[in-house]
Amino acid sequence: MDAPSHCIHGGRFIHDFDVNDLIMPCVVIDVSCKCHERYSLSVQDVEDFESQFGPIAQGSSVMVKTVCSKFWHTPSKYHNNHVFQSVSSEVA
């Protein structure tokens, strides 16, 4: 988990969270079969997920399964010159 303070000036740090802030429903959207280094989760990905599994409940945490973890033991590929998969602004 990354703290909002990592990217947002004035954002909360990890120690600012209560454990109850982190307990919520969760879904995993698996895009590993089409993911590449610059992949961005799209509205279509979310709509495809919801058409198969139903609407994502308000207040749910959404995790995105990519292929990034398979490169964990290969730092040059895992860090990939700081080029990572992302979530599109339309989805965020």
Q: What is the pLDDT of residues 48-67, one digit of tens each?
A: 999 999 999 999 999 999 88
Dig out the tokens for 50 from the structure: 């919801």
Question: According to the model, what pLDDT value does residue 80 have?
Answer: 62
Q: E strand or H helix at 61, and its extent?
A: strand 61-65
| pLDDT at 92 (0 to 100) | 84
Average pLDDT over all residues of the chain: 88
pLDDT of residue 5: 93
* Of 54, 80, 55, the residue nearest 69 (C-alpha): 80
pTM attached to this predicted model: 0.76
Q: Is the pLDDT of residue 84 over 80?
A: no
Structure tokens given for 68: 């990034």
